Amino acid sequence: MLDIIRFVISAALTLAGLFCLLSGVVGVYKFRYALSRVHAAALLDTVGILLMLLGVIVATGFTVASLKMLVVIAFLWLTSPVAGHLIGRLEVTINDELSRDADVLDQDYVEQEKVPETTTTPADDTQEEAQ
Amino acid sequence: MEFLGIILLIFVIICAISVSLTKDLLTALVIFMSQSLAMAVIWILLESPDLGITEAAVGAGITSLLLFVTLKKIHAIDIQKASEKESRKEEAISDGENQA
Amino acid sequence: MAKIRPDYETSWFGRLMHWLENGSTALDDAMTDEMDAHSRDHLVDSEHHHATQEHALEERRHAALEREQRMYSSLHQWASTKGSRLMRWVYIVASVVMCVGIIALLLNTAANLPPYGDPDNPVNNEVSAHYITQGQAETGAVNIVAGMILDYRAFDTLGESNVLFIAAVTVLVLLRLAPSRDGKPTTEMLEAEADDRLYEPKHDMILQHQANLLVPLILLFGIYVVMNGHISPGGGFSGGAIMGAGLILYLNAFGFRKTERFFTFRTFQIVSLMALAFYACSKAYSFFTGANHLPSIFSPGTPGMLFSAGLIPYLNIAVGLVVCCTMYAFYTLFRKGDM
């Protein structure tokens, strides 16, 4: 009886995790703006990994391998959201028309993040060499 | 388990072919990274964990990272401004209408 | 006195001897003389230094040079018009023939290979059987792969670490900006640094807090993988790559100033050189003893303990340090051009 309950719980968790990961992939392809794509990738990746690995932990029982999988979950929860945050911050730095793509709540932060235009780019170097 | 191996091998072949055929260098790099990840899983399936750890650390980690930094150094990552992207899309749409 | 050949200087043998002695042909000398005369005419009014004898010699030299130039120019003309078309056809035909030839050869070889896993294969000889049965007892390593690459075949792994070292030195030679003489950064270095982190978020609080938590764990895990190379899968190469990745994360989160507090160019020099020298000193005797394996003073010990398996843990540490320094050096040389 306990085996059947364990099997059903682990199967449900694994399938839910698989569904989350697949939705993340579909979202990365279908969304229009970069910030929405980052949202889909980072969030759904994290939750999908959690559900899937929890399903595998329930299936294997209480061994050393399950402790290692808990450590893997902690590591991935530390790195995936930070990666999404960094990509979002880069998008704010680069995108010129941010108010068209997203609701800007703090315009001063956006101004401060922008890169100043007075830097040497390769185009300037070749022009100087030609002269 | 053999079925998973066959699927992963076909994925690796498709990734390798598409790395050569892509025009954008950044896209080629990301496909190369995913191919390295699939190779790491294949090494585990073939019962050699040494190679699996090394491929995951070196291939999917360090090599791809170094190639990204190389792309940045040769200025091959073009940061398209949003207005340029819109104008390019409009040009493509008008060209398609003129041809049709 | 024997007869002196009058046209020695313009003959083929004369030109060959002239080239052997002086390192340049008459055409090169004429070009340099012309360039010197050109610059002299611009600076100073040229005076007449010619005597009649020198004048005659010069006339003969000019005639020979005219012939040589005509020959070269006709050759050059042919090469640029008809020669290039011919070469294109030759290239296309030769490449197709070579490709088809090599494909046919390889397919034929693959078709005639012995069946996979056959016990009569040349691969399944007594050497691999010896490695599998006696490997753990002779080397003391539970991980037979580590025992093979660091004990039976340690000399080959020395070559691999050498290749890594050479790659790091090559990248240093190609990409390193000239270090400043008085300790202050040069303009090139400042420009490279400003150009490097142009579009990246600087001093990100979230990234710094996360790196504070993760970098010690990554480095600890890397050291664990290196030290347990002879007990569990891993070893020097993968552990070194993990340690290098940890250092790269620290660099990305905190910037170059804070990383240079503990990892400078001098650190890289000393660590990678000493590690490689240690490996070479302990295993390079194979040059002199041929294929004979000297009995080492480190006994194999009980398999499974951390400090067993003879020299293998120490060699793993050496390889891990070389790989870690190399990976970090590549990354920071590509980013900034200096360490």
pLDDT in tens, C242-253: 999 999 999 989
Q: What percent of chain A has pLDDT over 70?
A: 87
Does residue C155 sit in the same domain as residue C103?
A: no
Q: In which band, very low, low, confident or very high, does the pLDDT at A11 lie, cut at 50, 70 and 90?
A: very high
Tell if the CB–CB gap between B82 and A122 is shorter than 8 Å: no
Name the closest residue on chain A to residue B78, using Cα atoms.
Answer: A94
* Whether B83 contacts chain A with CB within 8 A: yes
- Kindly report, residue by residue over C117-149, the tens digit of the pLDDT: 788 888 778 888 888 888 888 888 888 888 888
What is the least distance, in Å, from the CA of B31 to any CA of chain A? 15
Highest mean pLDDT among A24-28, A117-121, B84-88, C123-127: A24-28
Does residue C147 sit in the same domain as residue C100?
A: no
- Kindly report, residue by residue over C169-182, the tens digit of the pLDDT: 999 888 888 777 77
> Which pLDDT value is given to residue A91?
84
What is the least distance, in Å, from the CA of A83 to any CA of chain C? 9
Tell me which DSSP letter residue B60 carries.
I
Q: Point out the residue among C146, C225, C331 whose CB comes nearest to the CB of B69.
A: C331
Does residue C103 sit in the same domain as residue C203?
A: no
The mean-pLDDT minimum among A92-106, B3-17, C88-102, C276-290 falls in A92-106
The verdict on residue C50 lying in a domain is no
Does residue C149 sit in the same domain as residue C103?
A: no
Does residue C234 sit in the same domain as residue C105?
A: no
- Kindly report, residue by residue over C201-241, the tens digit of the pLDDT: 677 889 999 999 999 999 999 999 999 988 889 889 999 99
Q: Phi and psi dihedrals of B80, rounded to 5? A: -75, 130
Tell if the CB–CB gap between A78 and C191 is shorter than 8 Å: no
Q: Is C146 exposed, middle or buried (0-12, 13-18, 19+ CB in 10 A)?
A: buried
The verdict on residue A88 lying in a domain is yes
CB contacts, 8 Å: C201 with chain A:
86, 89-90, 93, 113
* Whether B98 contacts chain A with CB within 8 A: no
Model confidence at C46: pLDDT above 50: no
Model confidence at A129: pLDDT above 60: no
pTM > 0.90: no
Mean pLDDT along residues A23-45: 91
Model confidence at C106: pLDDT above 70: yes
The verdict on residue C253 lying in a domain is yes
Tell me the residue range of the domain where C87 lies.
12-39+57-110
> Which pLDDT value is given to residue C18?
80
What is the least distance, in Å, from the CA of B74 to any CA of chain C? 10
CB contacts, 8 Å: B79 with chain A:
94
The verdict on residue C66 lying in a domain is yes
Does residue C20 sit in the same domain as residue C154?
A: no
Cα–Cα nearest to C247, from C168, C176, C320, C325: C325
Distance (Å, rounded) from C-alpha C186 to C-alpha C92? 50
Model confidence at C98: pLDDT above 90: yes
Is A122 in a helix, a strand, or coil? helix
What is the least distance, in Å, from the CA of B52 to any CA of chain C? 9
Model confidence at B97: pLDDT above 60: yes
The verdict on residue A108 lying in a domain is yes
- Specify the residue for token string 């680069």: A94
The verdict on residue C175 lying in a domain is yes
> Which pLDDT value is given to residue A121?
46
Tell me the residue range of the domain where A26 lies.
2-115
The count of structural domains within chain A is 1
Q: In which band, very low, low, confident or very high, does the pLDDT at C322 lie, cut at 50, 70 and 90?
A: very high
The verdict on residue C124 lying in a domain is no
- Number of C-beta neighbours around residue A23 at 10 A: 14
Q: In which band, very low, low, confident or very high, does the pLDDT at A128 lie, cut at 50, 70 and 90?
A: very low
Residues 86-105 of A with CB under 8 A from B: 94-97, 100-101
Residues with Cβ < 8 Å from B33, sequence gap 6 or more? B60, B64
Model confidence at A28: pLDDT above 80: yes
Q: Point out the residue among C143, C248, C334 whose CB comes nearest to the CB of B73.
A: C334
Among B43, B48, B58, B80, the strongest candidate for a mutation testing the C interface, having the largest count of C CBs within 10 A, is B58
Does residue C103 sit in the same domain as residue C199?
A: no
Residues with Cβ < 8 Å from C47, sequence gap 6 or more? none
Q: In which band, very low, low, confident or very high, does the pLDDT at C71 lie, cut at 50, 70 and 90?
A: confident
Name the closest residue on chain B to residue A97, using Cα atoms.
Answer: B82
What is the least distance, in Å, from the CA of A90 to any CA of chain C? 7
The count of structural domains within chain C is 2
Q: How do the domains of chain B map onto residue ranges? A: 2-99
